[in-house]
DNA sequence: CCAAAAGTGTTTCTCATACACCCATGT
DNA sequence: ACATGGGTGTATGAGAAACACTTTTGG
């Protein structure tokens, strides 16, 4: 552990490891991913595509810290659901010249070997504050399915992260509430389930199932501005949830 | 099993990434982990402890290949359930002098920074063939809970991998059959469930539940040498299982 | 015969599903 | 009034759990 020529407090590690964040947001209709526009030039021909937000890890931070940093720098948010889900280390994942050139220019690292990346999933609410933060950055919310061809193996990472979300929801449904605003209607929750599970859910049965859950707390407020009967608003109570799921 | 002499075709990558395998086996009573004895010397004082089998990754293999290699070199087995479950990259995980010295001696790599490891879970049958293979190596089956203090952060990895197995069994129960011999009794299966889930299961109900599953196929054979009524043997049919779980 | 585990039957309860139907509200 | 979604009631069936019971086998 020689720290002799460590410049400032932080320096980028050159150990070929990065983190990438698959940041999901729900707009009421569809799941969206937060992607970064990437531009560059290779052989006189410029390119313009998208990638998952990510970064090489610093030597003085662990993996989770690196992922939180990426998220914080991009969105300004700290208290966000974020969990590691898989490491990607295909032999060819950093071989595309376009990717290599972009990476070297962006990070200042010489990319002379395969990089391994640890992918994270973040779930957050698409709201005004986050949109304001994103203004002027190169980040865009992209609806799932319309993302096109991404940099590196990011299409694969994205695909696998969606299966991962399905597993997560099946295993501990509480994470779904991270995608909803604090106050939400049963319909919004149902539509979110439907988009994640990719199947229709009977509205009546869903309503009853939810009304039995003690941690989905009805409020004395109603929706406004609907073209039909206003729905009651609910909130998710994490404390009650944990009490029921710790045993 | 030492990595001191490297063939020229392959070379160890020096990018600070390794794989570790948590290899589980069921002996009929308890879950066991396959650990490697590790000896060395530091400051004139010798030490003797245990670690998970693992290896730095080569530059010409991906993560999964590295994990399979570790497993193959240790057990001689190729067709084994093996799945990545988490990357570990704590800032301090390769700081213990004992670990650093051992690692440098073993791998020939200068360890001047934190290593990141990708942990894998393997499930296999403890059988005669595997025991023979292990004979003379430094590997031992250690019952869960008796492993003591391990190298690096391997205690943490082991702990988390047990939770992971519980999740895996809940999500796709087929993986449990990788821990059992090809022919097994319902009792053996139940005991395995009980050790993994850490709870008693009613024998009668369990029997009925299993007898309804089309992919647990009864054989025309019975146990021998029991001090009580001989139980029927069953086998797991993966083809039927997939047919029922692909929809 | 007895102990111990294999294997069976019965009952109860919870929960998912299907589906019919009434309610409230904006246009 | 009527369309649209909010919210309720009812019936059915599958499966989990509790538990008593019979069967088979070795000692």
Residue of B16, B89, B156, B160 best to disrupt the A interface, most CBs of A under 10 A: B89
Residue B132 neighbours by CB distance under 10 Å: 10
> Which of A155, A160, A156, A148 lies closest to A47 in space, CA to CA?
A148
Q: Is the pLDDT of residue B174 over 80?
A: yes
Protein-covered nucleotides on strand C (Cβ within 7 A):
3-10, 15-21, 23-27
Q: Is the pLDDT of residue A135 over 80?
A: no
In this prediction, residues A156-178 reach a mean pLDDT of 96
> Which of A225, A219, A230, A227 lies closest to A182 in space, CA to CA?
A219
Domains of chain B in sequence order: 17-175 (3.90.79.10), 180-246 (1.10.10.10)
Q: Is the pLDDT of residue A6 over 50?
A: no
Residue B238 neighbours by CB distance under 10 Å: 11
pLDDT (tens digit, 9 = 90+) per residue, B43-82?
Answer: 899 999 999 999 999 989 999 999 999 999 999 999 999 9
Share of chain A above pLDDT 70, in %: 94
| Cα A163 to Cα A161: distance, rounded to the nearest angstrom | 5
Tokens for B198? 């850490």
* Start-end of H helices in B55-135: 63-75, 97-107, 128-134
CA distances from B201 to A104, B54, B167, B186, B189 (A): 57, 35, 18, 12, 11
Chain B residues near residue A171 by CB distance under 8 angstroms: 167, 170-171
Q: Is the pLDDT of residue B6 over 50?
A: no
| Cα A141 to Cα A149: distance, rounded to the nearest angstrom | 15
pLDDT tier at A159, thresholds 50, 70, 90: very high
Nucleotide nearest A226, CA–C1', reads C26
Does residue A31 or residue A130 have the better pLDDT? Answer: A31
Give the gap in angstroms from C-alpha A222 to the nearest C-alpha of chain B: 37
Indicate yes or no: CB of B89 within 8 angstroms of CB of A118.
Answer: yes
Chain A residues near residue B13 by CB distance under 8 angstroms: 16, 113-114
Strand extents, DSSP E, chain B:
17-26, 31-42, 45-51, 54-56, 81-88, 116-125, 139-143, 216-222, 232-236
pLDDT (tens digit, 9 = 90+) per residue, A195-205?
Answer: 999 999 999 99
Cβ pair A185, A216 in contact under 8 A: no
**Residue A51, H or E segment:** strand A45-51
| Cα A20 to Cα A155: distance, rounded to the nearest angstrom | 12
Chain B residues near residue A59 by CB distance under 8 angstroms: 113-114
> Which of B127, B119, B219 lies closest to B160 in space, CA to CA?
B119
> Can you state the angle between helices A186-197 and A154-171, rounded to 10 degrees?
130
Tokens for A58? 């610093």
Q: Which residues of B109-128 are buried (b: 16+ CB within 10 A; e: fewer)?
A: bebeebbbbbbbbbbbbbee
- Return mean pLDDT, chain A: 91
> Which of A75, A25, A34 lies closest to A195 in space, CA to CA?
A25
pLDDT value for A247: 55
């Amino acid at each position: 552990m020689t720290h002799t020529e460590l410049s400032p407090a932080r320096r980028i590690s050159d150990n070929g490891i990065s983190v990438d964040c698959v940041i999901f947001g729900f707009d009421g209709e569809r799941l969206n991913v937060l992607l970064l526009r990437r531009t560059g030039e290779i052989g006189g021909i410029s390119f313009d595509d998208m990638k998952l937000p990510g970064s090489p890890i610093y030597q003085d931070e662990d993996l989770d810290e690196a992922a939180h940093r990426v998220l914080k720098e991009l969105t300004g948010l700290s208290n966000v659901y974020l969990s590691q889900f898989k490491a990607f280390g295909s032999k060819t994942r950093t071989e595309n010249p376009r990717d290599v050139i972009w990476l070297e220019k962006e990070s200042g690292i010489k990319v002379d070997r395969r990089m391994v990346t640890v992918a994270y999933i973040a779930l957050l609410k698409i709201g005004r504050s986050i949109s304001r933060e994103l203004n002027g950055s190169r980040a865009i919310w992209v609806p799932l399915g319309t993302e096109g061809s991404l940099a590196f193996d990011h299409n694969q990472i994205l695909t696998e992260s969606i299966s991962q979300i399905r597993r997560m929801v099946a295993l501990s449904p509480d994470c779904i509430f991270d995608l909803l605003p604090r106050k939400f209607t049963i319909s919004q929750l149902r539509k979110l389930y439907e988009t994640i599970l990719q199947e229709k859910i009977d509205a009546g049965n869903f309503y009853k199932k939810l009304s039995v859950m003690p941690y989905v707390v009805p409020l004395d407020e109603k929706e406004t501005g609907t073209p039909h009967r206003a729905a009651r608003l609910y909130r998710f109570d994490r404390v009650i949830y944990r009490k029921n799921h710790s045993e």
